[in-house]
């Protein structure tokens, strides 16, 4: 319950599209899924298809920008 006359900072809204696509590691880095694995898979080697299954870390330069989209993730 808020006291009369006091103000607090507004909550930051999470961008839901980003929240569905990103996960956070234990150390706080963001992970994403890879692209290039929806179709034409028969033309890609099995090794390449296996590597596409794994999630990747978001680049270091993009981390601050994307963390603003998902502040509570």
pLDDT of residue 9: 86
CATH number assigned to the domain comprising residue 56: 4.10.410.60
3-state SS of the chain is CCCCCCCCCCCCCCCHHHHHHEEECCCCCEEECCCCCCCCHHHCCHHHHHHHHCCEECCCCCHHHHHHHCCCC
In this structure, is residue 73 part of a structural domain?
no
Residue range(s) defining the domain that contains residue 31? 16-68
pLDDT of residue 18: 96
In this structure, is residue 35 part of a structural domain?
yes
In this structure, is residue 53 part of a structural domain?
yes
In this structure, is residue 1 part of a structural domain?
no
Structurally, the chain folds into a number of domains equal to 1
User: Could you state, in chain order, the average pLDDT of each consecutive group of 10 residues for the chain (73 residues)?
Assistant: 74 95 96 94 96 96 96 91
pLDDT of residue 25: 95
């Amino acid at each position: 319950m808020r006291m009369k006359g006091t103000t607090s900072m507004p909550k930051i809204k999470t961008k839901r599209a980003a929240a569905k696509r990103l996960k956070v590691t234990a150390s706080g880095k963001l992970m994403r899924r890879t692209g290039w694995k929806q179709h034409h898979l028969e033309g890609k080697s099995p090794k390449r298809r296996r590597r596409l299954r794994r999630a990747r870390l978001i680049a270091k330069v993009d981390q601050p920008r994307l963390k603003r989209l998902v502040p509570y993730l």
